[in-house]
């Protein structure tokens, strides 16, 4: 299935850079947004320097797109005002621009950390109550809520991907459960961009086919993609991979520690 015109926010980021290369041969036009300058690498690429906090600039850059992949924002724990501005307000500007332009599909980058306090022994599904492991997770809960509201109230088709640990290869014990390989990231994103128009709203974990994964894989009716990579194949090269684990420990690992958030809260 052709992708038409795809707009990608955060196109200079780690995931954005990989997805850009993968979608280049599948999209009729790629519209690439970031707050840092990008150079077009093909005739059908179009680049924009855009601050997602500027709704007018966002709307102008997204004009004419058939779908939007929204990857832009702060990617980790930070002071809450910064997260609200970059992640929540920025997402609202993207969704509002999509509503105004009549864009058919918006794919939002959420995070596994919206459920980081579930224990590692629990296989978590997307319909369970959120348990964010910090302020970053809270901002992504709000991102999902905005997507749901725009779907329910304005009829946008929105898919939220709860992205795992995006790495070239897994490098630490937690990654044996949470790793998302570049190949599988592209697979999930393409499936989300091409899901049936009748999909009004969906939330799914984007994680590789890891033997130790914490999260349910999406049902085919939601996302027609089956991951192919398994972090277990890299376990022999990861220190501590076979050490006993605490099944009651939070899935977020060190992200769930109080100090990970306290350092971003004004004393």
* Enzyme catalytic residues: 136
The helix or strand, by DSSP H or E, that contains position 140, with its residue range, turns out to be helix 135-154
* Residue 103 near residue 70, CB atoms below 8 Å: no
Backbone conformation region of residue 218, classed left if phi is above 0, alpha if psi is from -120 to 50, else beta: beta
DSSP letters, 221-234, are: TT--------GGGG
For 169, residues 6+ apart whose C-beta sits below 8 A from its C-beta are 181, 234
Determine the Cα–Cα distance for residues 192 and 90; give it in Å rounded to an integer. 20
Cα angle at 175 between 225 and 14, to 5 degrees?
70
Token reading at 25: 């041969």
């Amino acid at each position: 299935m052709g992708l038409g015109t795809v707009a990608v926010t955060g196109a200079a980021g780690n995931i954005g850079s990989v997805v850009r290369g993968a979608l280049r041969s599948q999209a009729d036009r790629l519209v690439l947004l970031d707050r840092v300058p990008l150079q077009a690498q093909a005739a059908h690429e179009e680049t924009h320097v855009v601050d997602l906090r500027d709704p007018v600039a966002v709307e102008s850059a997204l004009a004419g797109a058939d779908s939007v992949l929204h990857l832009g924002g702060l990617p980790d724990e930070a002071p809450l005002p910064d997260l609200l501005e970059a992640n929540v307000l920025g997402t609202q500007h993207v969704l509002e621009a999509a509503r105004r332009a009549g864009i058919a599909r918006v794919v939002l980058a959420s995070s596994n950390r919206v459920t980081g306090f579930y224990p590692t022994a629990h296989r978590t599904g997307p319909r369970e109550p959120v348990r964010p492991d910090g302020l970053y997770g809270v901002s992504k809960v709000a991102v999902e809520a905005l997507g749901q509201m725009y779907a329910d109230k304005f009829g946008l088709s929105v898919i939220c991907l709860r992205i795992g640990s995006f790495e070239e290869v897994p490098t630490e014990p937690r990654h044996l459960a949470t790793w998302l390989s570049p190949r599988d990231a592209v697979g999930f994103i393409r499936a989300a961009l091409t899901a049936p128009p009748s999909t009004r709203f969906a939330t799914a974990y984007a994680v590789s086919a890891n033997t130790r994964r914490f999260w349910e894989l999406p049902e085919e009716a939601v996302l027609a993609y089956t991951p192919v990579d398994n972090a277990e194949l890299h376990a022999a090269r990861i220190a501590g991979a076979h050490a006993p684990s605490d099944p009651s420990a939070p899935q977020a690992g060190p992200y769930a520690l109080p100090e990970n958030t306290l350092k971003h809260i004004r004393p």
